[in-house]
Structure 1
């Protein structure tokens, strides 16, 4: 009954907003989509869609300029930002102006585009397939790299009449980039600078909760692959966590514990008041196959960055018994690697290996905070001095060097 009452209250609030009695700025973050979050802070927002070669319809959000920018140039340099696994474009805007890097870059005169990969809440349409079909969810970040990114990048460049753009990716957003530019090398020339936050390619040293339980092995992987799970979606349980647990000052320690177990412990950088927003936005939707592909990367004997392992079907798929390796030598675009010492997914050892493999790394930046974890790149209390200020500095410096 209480849940019904809360839903009725929310409906009333939305009716009042539409009637003009309640401003959008007064509505909590967790009830707003990306477009509304951008508008809430007085920035212009646009929503664009693009259809991939294999039929997925993707949504992109845009901040074409900032009301604070002194730039009068109508052809502003473009920055494209790509979220991580289970995330969405909203991840880049939840901290608001003065802390979210997309607003800060808009203030500096950049044209901001926020991508959404197939399967998340903003990209759940297809020209022929329904999300109820298992075929819709038959993809990993490999398909996102060879279909989603090229489609979005080409659309943005055509729309803005630019030849190249700046790319900022976090976690899976970096994986997608390395897949795209290794499988389709022609896209390297479309990238002015790529900034990789928590770069994930080599993952032999990753530490998931399954690792802590000593369960990350080939037997477990085969079991996880066999599960009749198509997607990771939001559930009523997650809504309950966001609405009840994370908003309660005494109970929110549970939400903190979940964050730390998944992404690494860092009490100082966690803003607990942001927990309800974080849990209301994540998961935004993802295919189960994307998780399995990452698990494969973590337990591969070769320690290589590989395409999806279909095991007995590899010969039919690849004409070889093992999945092909992504050729990172083909990634010639300039890349800056940002990593944290306490990141369980982008382990420093793996990042250093990536640094030694990529042919054009322009900077290897270790975040100067020992406890910096995987999610801190987006929501850390000190995200400006630790991350954003250096991104802006690097983009400005790199521009003068090219």
Structure 2
């Protein structure tokens, strides 16, 4: 008996035919139920993904003092418990090239945004100016170079204060919790050192892979990147779903092999890890990178070259105009008086332990230090790690609940 197997004519019965049939079946059904769900999630807008998992979701717009319009995504409560219960608010800020999506991209059981909502918090997921969700301004358009004339300094001095004030006004609270990952921590340290009055509006700050102190380097690649940006006249870096984002479009989304190459490139930057969920990777890469200004990248590069946590270096002449001195002013971390909890790991190339230790010594009010008990945990694993919920998030919630109880006890005593 002749059968067509994957386009070939073969005779039955035949052990080789059975093997071919088995191989063809597996090839045709290689998309498992979980990976199919991942593919579907990859096509969803953030609010649609949150709603898919039956969580309430809201979209809010916040205008900064310098005219940028930021999009906030809110999960006011979890899937159980009374909706009208007054819940502590928590503002969550993403890393460089990321967005609010990264807090929910692994789904309800493993994403910190969902986990906090189920733990009794009113969750607000922020988007820094210029990323996928925050590309509006009262008078400027993203096609104009002036739109991109900012770094994480402006995000710290304008974006976060505007978001905090909006959330507190919306909820009636006097304080909120803040959780930042990587650049999300950098922005917070800028805000509380430049606008120290905002320390009083923070219950506690959770710093995941904190970045403030830099290790000085003479890496020529960093010099090359800065020169390339200047010569090419690039203002926007790796925006989502455009020809300017070959990293996301060409390298990461097409096949299993290119996805692996993309993952290898990511590991080269942040450190290798066994925590990446390859089934969920297409979802994460469908929304990341989310875009940034080239000045954000250059500001981090300047920190690496100088070894200093300081404002943007425009060059001696413009520095004199902007700051009244030839070199940029340093951020005074002793002014960061908010209660700070630091979470870090041994395999983090962007926030190495020695830098975190130095950062920690600069803060006057460190309430908790947590070294992730897994040697291979890297910089991205704080949001993309498949076991981050048990390795990190459970401790985060314990600290927040304990601190919340301590605050209530102190209020009763007074």
Residue 32 (structure 2) pairs with residue 33 (structure 1):
no
TM-score w.r.t. length of structure 2 = 0.84
**C-alpha displacement of 1:397:** 1.5
Give the superposition deviation at 1:28.
1.2
TM-score by length of 1: 0.87
List aligned pairs for 1:295-374, cutoff 5 A. Answer: 295-300=301-306, 303-312=307-316, 313-374=318-379
User: Structure 1's 361 and 272: CA in aligned 2 closer, same or farther, altered over 3 A?
Assistant: same
Deviation (angstroms), 1:255 = 2.4
1:192/1:145 Cα in 2 relative to 1: closer, same or farther (>3 Å)? Answer: same
Task: Give the conservation status (yes or no) of the 8 Å contact 2:216–2:303.
Answer: no
Select the residue among 271, 274, 299 that pairs with 2:277. Answer: 271
Shift in Å, 1:134: 0.5
Q: What is residue 208 of structure 2 aligned with on the other side? A: 197
> Which has the greater radius of gyration?
2
Asked whether the equivalents of residues 205 and 347 of structure 1 are also in contact (C-alpha less than 8 Å), the reply is no
CA contact (8 A) 2:129 2:135 kept: yes
Partner of 1:8: none
1:30-75 Cα distance to aligned partner (Å, 9 max, x none): 111211111010000000001110000000000011122x356532
Question: Could you tell me which residue of structure 1 aligns to residue 291 of structure 2?
Answer: 285
Aligned partners of 2:252 and 2:261 also within 8 Å: no
Whether contact under 8 Å (1:242, 1:277) holds in the other structure is no
User: Which residue does 1:100 correspond to in 2?
Assistant: 111
Write the distance in 2 (CA, Å) between the matches of 1:373 and 1:26. 23
**2:25 matched residue in structure 1:** none
Distance 1:384 1:229 in 2: 38
1:245-302 deviation line (CA, Å, top 9, x unaligned)? 3xx2x44321221221121101x211111221222111111000000000000010xx
Give the Cα separation in 1 of the matches to 2:258 and 2:131: 28
Q: How does 1:242-261 map to 2 (within 5 A)?
A: 242-245=252-255, 248=256, 250-261=257-268
Contact kept, 8 Å, 1:71 with 1:109, in 2: the verdict is no
Q: Does 1:231 align with 2:236?
A: yes
- C-alpha displacement of 1:130: 0.8
CA RMSD of aligned residues (A): 1.9
Per the alignment, residue 251 of structure 2 pairs with: 241
Name the CA distance, whole Å, in 1 between partners of 2:66 and 2:175: 24
Moved more, 104-113 or 26-35: 26-35
How many residues end up aligned between the 2 structures? 366
Alpha-carbon distance in structure 2 between the residues aligned to 1:219 and 1:121: 27
Aligned mates of 2:42, 2:258 — CA distance in 1: 18
1:400 to 382, 405, 409: 405
How much has 1:184 moved relative to structure 2?
A: 0.4
Q: Distance in 2 between matches of 1:253 and 1:87?
A: 20
- Paired with 2:345 and 2:225, the residues of 1 have a C-alpha distance of 28
My pick for the range that moved more, 189-198 or 28-37, is 28-37
Cα offset for 1:205? 5.7
Shift of 1:27: 6.7
